[in-house]
Amino acid sequence: MSEQETEAGLAESLLRRAAPDRAEFEDLVIVPIFAVVVALVLGALTMLATNVDLPTIGKSYLALVQGSVGSLNALSETLTAAAPLTLAGLGIALGFRAGLFNIGAEGQLLVGGMAAVITGFSFPGLPMAIHLPLALLAGAVAGGLYAGIAGWLRAATGAHEVILTIMLNLIAFRLVDYMLRLPWVQREGRADPISRSVLTSAELPRIFTWLDPNLRLHLGIVLTLAAVLLVHWVLFRTKLGFEFRASGAGPDAARYAGMRAGLLIVIVMAFAGALAGLAGANQVLGVLGRATPGFSSGIGFDAIAVALLGRSHPWGVLAAGLLFGALEAGGRQMQVSAGVSLDLIGIIQALIIAFIAAPLLVRAIFPWGFRRAAKAPKE
């Protein structure tokens, strides 16, 4: 009896989780914070080097803060910019988790966006409750199918997904250019490549116009949060997510355990593509209202950085998406009020990524911020 009790006690104790590791906390929280600080300092030095005087630098950073979180409108802009970055970033993170490097979010976003636009202008008279979900679905499905091509080629032939997705991006760019000149897509009376406008019934409605009619934030942000929860649930709660993570962390062990590697690759790619397609739909249905050449404007590539910065964790991706959204919104304000080039924001973003990718460098710059590394001590 007592032996049984001690065994039960032992089983209980085995179920206890270790307290979060200090090193883990440092890596997840402190390193990114310091990386942002260093990047901002180096950004200031870059401005100095390009003959911007100190007061202007101060003004521009103030504008960065004001433009990203300084007002209701700024917050709205930040969130509006964060939504597609997060959506596409989630897809890329999903690929990373499964060991796939999906560079194709840009193309998937374009294809998904086109499908959403076409659905969005094609069915006049449909009630919004049907039309909007239909347009979103079209975006997700088109993005998923487009990425599925790369997944299928990878699984069936072993061709590398990096090359496949890069090539599919190029095809997507030209496909959009071509489609925008098709008579049934191109806006009537226009000679330049521009699509018809999305009908009101398919638009993602703005959600804070009751506070201020200028707030652009639309329902896409809710969609984004739902996607974060969904991806989190899939990755960590479901059999499919377990299979994704297993094939990423130990592809041979996953195969030996009877998981079907080829099928999983196709599913992961399709899932990632659907999220990128949804990001595209989010842009055309929520912000742009139509499609023009290159309407993806690099979101699919920035999303790679978002996924890396978020360490392929859904919450991390959300945080990184918000940061990038803030930089974008704030950057616009920087340009307007301080006259600093928007390119500088690109430099700062790049610096942040570089520093987060090199945690040892950040630890070296801020030795007092971290506990002494518990590696093999030199005595």
Partner 1 sequence: MDVELRGITKRFGPFTANRNVNLTIRAGEVLGLLGENGAGKSTLMTVLCGLYSPSEGEILIDGKPVRFAGPGDAIAAGIGMVHQHFMLIPVFTVAENVILGVEPTGRLDRLDLVTARAQVRAINETYGLEVDPDALVGDLPVGLQQRVEIIKVLFRSAELVIFDEPTAVLTPQEVEDFFKIVRSLRDDGKAIVFITHKLNEIIEIADRISVLRAGEIVGEGDPKALSEADLAEMMVGRPVSFTVDKAPFAPGEVLLEVDDLTVLRDDDSLAVDGLDLQVHRGEIVGIAGVQGNGQTALVEALTGLARIAGGTLRFAGGDITRASTRERHRLGIAHIPEDRQRTGLIPAFTIAENMVLDTYYDERFSAGPVIRWEAVNRAAARASIDFDVRTDSVFNAVGNLSGGNQQKVIIAREMSRDTQLLIAAQPTRGIDVGSIEYIHRRIAEARDEGDGVLIVSSELDEILALSDRIVVMFRGRIVAEFDGNDPHISKKAIGLAMAGATA
At closest approach, how far in Å is the CB of 370 from partner 1?
16
Candidates 11-19, 93-101, 116-124, 151-159; binding stretch for partner 1 (CB under 8 A): 11-19
* 94 scored as a contact of partner 1 (CB under 8 A): no
Q: How far is the CB of 18 from partner 1 (least distance, A)?
A: 6
Question: Is residue 3 part of the contact set for partner 1 (CB under 8 A)?
Answer: no
Considering only 110-118, 277-285, 291-299, 369-377, which stretch makes contact with partner 1 by CB under 8 A? 369-377
- Phi then psi for residue 186, to 5 deg, are -65, 140
Say which DSSP state 180 is in: T
Among 25, 54, 237, 373, binds partner 1 (CB under 8 A): 237
- How far apart, in whole angstroms, are the C-alpha atoms of residue 349 and residue 351? 5
Q: 14: exposed, middle or buried (C-beta count within 10 Å: 0-12, 13-18, 19+)?
A: exposed
Residues in the chain: 379
Stretch that binds partner 1, among 216-224, 242-250, 309-317, 358-366 (CB under 8 A): 242-250
Compute the distance between CA of residue 148 and CA of residue 276 in angstroms, rounded to an integer: 12
DSSP structural state of residue 201? G
Q: Which stretch binds partner 1 (CB under 8 A): 93-101, 163-171, 245-253, 307-315?
A: 245-253
Read off the tokens for 175.
């496909």
Binding string to partner 1 for residues 284 to 323, with x set by CB under 8 A, is what?
----------------------------------------
Of 154, 174, 170, 139, nearest in space to 269 by CA: 154
Could you tell me which of 27, 114, 136, 5 has the C-alpha nearest to residue 370? 27
With CB under 8 A as the rule, give the number of residues binding partner 1: 33
Q: Where in 252-271 is the site for partner 1 (CB under 8 A)? A: 252-260
Please tell me whether residue 376 binds partner 1 under the rule CB under 8 A: yes
Whichever of 257 and 364 has its CB closer to partner 1, that residue is 257
Q: Can you tell me the distance from the alpha carbon of 168 to that of 66, in angstroms, rounded to the nearest whole number? A: 39
Please tell me the distance from the alpha carbon of residue 134 to that of residue 119, in angstroms, as a whole number.
7
Instruction: Note the residues at the interface with partner 1 (CB under 8 A).
Output: 7, 10-18, 237-240, 242, 245-246, 249-250, 252-260, 374, 376-379
